[in-house]
Chain A
Amino acid sequence: MRARSIPYLLIAPSLGFLTVLFFVPLVQTIALAFQADGIWSTANFSRMAGDLNFTDAVVNTFEIVIIVVPLQLLLALGMAMLLQHVRGGRDIVLWIWSIPLGISDLAAGLVWLAILTDKGYLNTILLGLGVLSGPQSWLSYETPVTLLAAIVVAELWRATAIVLVILVAGVQLVPKEYGEAAEVFGATPWQRFTRVTLPLLKPSIQTALVLRTVLAFEMFAIVLSIGGRNFPVLVSEAFNWQYNQQDYGVAAAYAVIVMGVSLAATLIYLWVLRTPAAQR
């Protein structure tokens, strides 16, 4: 009888901790979002939707996710494939490529701010090439296209590494014999990639996409450091309502929206990229 209780004693601390600091706050936020003046209502959501920045925040967030996530997947796939052919120094190449994994979105934003600011390094290069004649601003509200491009580049720089690491871990699980067999039967390198590697990588691609998309919906510090308030996204609005306006209800409503789209995206990936039971 005592032995049977051991695993429960072992999981109890973590479960208790997560109950108090995860599940309870989760329910509280949802309750907070759907309450105003102590009664159940959708007032917070109407205030949120009525705010000037709301439409921009929704559009910007989806714009970033839709542009960045596929690019990151392609770039990481390319890097993972290149890595298979690296002979010497594979470890060091992999280390360099995974460095951004440890860099926070705030730091990444500041890095690209240093490069893209009016008197930054990009403009110095453009000056040297004769494209520019003086400092030029790329990150103001008057240049929405370059501002978006800057955020996309910064996100690509920072967060491709996580996709890469998941894909490399996945590639290592694929037996070499499969590719060799395909080669024996006369498959071209491209055919081997699309017919053998890619289908076998599907579970890893799914994991990478779920994780990346959820994190991309959460992005806000990179946007604030590069664009300030010129480029509202969902979480930066949640932050603003909480921190500057001290309106917890509307902030909670934003948080609920972010949670909703994250969960929806996760379910879509799980469904679209599911592996039929027979192939497992």
Chain B
Amino acid sequence: MTLRRAVFITGIVVLCAWTLVPIYLIALGAIGGRTVVNSWPKPFLPPADLSFATMREFFDITGVWTSALYSVEAAVLCMAFSIVLGVPGGYALARFVFPGATTYRLLILLTRAFPVAILALPLTVGFIRLGLYDTPFGVGLMHTTLALPFAVLISASLFQAIPRELEEAAWVFGCSPVRAFWRVMLPLALPGIAAVAIFAFVISWNEVFAASVLTVRHKTLTAYLLSVLSESPLHVQFAGGFVLIVPSVLFIFLVRKRLFSVWGIANR
């Protein structure tokens, strides 16, 4: 029994290391700068003289930081649009029985079966015409089509989980439906909606294809990194990769409790 337990714990630890060690190694490559990237054999520990100078080299890679700002801009837009457009749809699915509800739900689900590539190509032309091409705003709009279906479905399940009686009680006490939604439903659903927002942010932050196709000079971080893959020195690429990873890890930590309810929905 103790042997089985030992094997079991080793398995768990190995699988954790399998996830974490690669992230640690790219962090080394990013922070160590040029010296570590060119060294051979590679050190497995951070350089003992992890000085301000090498750290500065990391923060001086301007391409990475300016494009990261564009990424944040696009991701915040995507987040805002997904919430504003998606939450009402989710509320409608959760609280109303209406002809077309099933069709609406199905259409929303259907969008997930299509690759990004098929949407991004004609949007290039349309965006040039509208002046949205090569703007973080345009990228955010495009990314909203990816995040919106999640926003609708997740918020539908959030509102379903809140007892209808609470809302009805507010009506009885003289709240208008809008006020009841605002004062009763929304505060209860807020933690879940925050999780939806974080998902939307991560979806946009990580997306590569559309961001690359829709931008030229104002590239988001993923688009920038993809365009310099073959030409920029490795330490720049590793720095960019590391900057891409850090927020994602934090976000997954923030929504870890919600991950399963989110994917539980996907099962139905």
Residues of chain A at the chain B interface (Cβ within 8 Å): 4, 6-8, 10-11, 13-15, 17-18, 21-22, 24-26, 28-30, 32, 79, 82, 85-86, 91, 93-107, 109-115, 117, 119-121, 123-124, 127-128, 135, 157, 165-166, 168-170, 172-173, 203-204, 207, 210-211, 214, 217-218, 220-221, 224-225, 228, 235, 238-239, 242-243, 248, 251-252, 254-256, 258-259, 262-263, 266
On whether the beta carbons of B121 and A214 are closer than 8 Å, the reply is no
Task: Tell me how far the C-beta of B229 lies from the nearest C-beta in chain A, rounded to whole angstroms.
Answer: 6
Once the chains are docked, how many angstroms separate the CA of A104 from the CA of B253? Answer: 16
Task: Tell me how far the C-beta of B96 lies from the nearest C-beta in chain A, rounded to whole angstroms.
Answer: 4
On whether the beta carbons of A101 and B259 are closer than 8 Å, the reply is yes
On whether the beta carbons of B115 and A259 are closer than 8 Å, the reply is yes
Once the chains are docked, how many angstroms separate the CA of A8 from the CA of B245? Answer: 40
Contact segment of B54-62, B86-94, B163-171: B86-94
Interface residues on B, range: 35 or more
> With A14-B148, A114-B29 in contact, is A25–B113 under 8 Å at CB?
no
Is B251 part of the binding interface, using a Cβ–Cβ cutoff of 8 Å?
Answer: yes
**A18 contact set on B, CB distance < 8 A:** 107-108, 111, 145, 148
Is B11 part of the binding interface, using a Cβ–Cβ cutoff of 8 Å?
Answer: yes
On whether the beta carbons of A111 and B22 are closer than 8 Å, the reply is yes
**B207 contact set on A, CB distance < 8 A:** 104
**B260 contact set on A, CB distance < 8 A:** 165, 168-169, 172
Is B182 part of the binding interface, using a Cβ–Cβ cutoff of 8 Å?
Answer: no
Name the residue of chain A whose CB is nearest to the CB of B29. Answer: A114
Candidate in B141, B248, B252, B262 with the most chain A CB atoms within 10 angstroms: B252
On whether the beta carbons of A120 and B92 are closer than 8 Å, the reply is no
Task: Tell me how far the C-beta of B31 lies from the nearest C-beta in chain A, rounded to whole angstroms.
Answer: 12
Overall SS of chain A's interface: helix
- Could you list 28 examples of A-B contacts with CB < 8 Å? A7-B95, A7-B96, A8-B98, A8-B100, A11-B92, A14-B108, A14-B148, A79-B15, A94-B256, A95-B252, A96-B16, A98-B252, A106-B206, A106-B244, A107-B241, A111-B241, A114-B238, A119-B40, A120-B42, A169-B262, A173-B267, A214-B113, A224-B226, A235-B209, A238-B121, A243-B213, A259-B118, A262-B115
Once the chains are docked, how many angstroms separate the CA of A173 from the CA of B267? Answer: 10
**B40 contact set on A, CB distance < 8 A:** 119, 124, 135
Residues of chain B at the chain A interface (Cβ within 8 Å): 8, 11-12, 15-16, 18-20, 22-23, 25-26, 29, 38-42, 44, 81, 84-86, 88-89, 91-93, 95-96, 98, 100-101, 104, 107-108, 111-126, 141-142, 144-145, 148, 152, 202, 205-209, 212-213, 222, 225-226, 229-230, 234, 237-238, 240-241, 244-245, 247-249, 251-253, 256, 259-264, 266-267
Once the chains are docked, how many angstroms separate the CA of A157 from the CA of B23? Answer: 11
On whether the beta carbons of B209 and A220 are closer than 8 Å, the reply is yes
On whether the beta carbons of A239 and B206 are closer than 8 Å, the reply is no
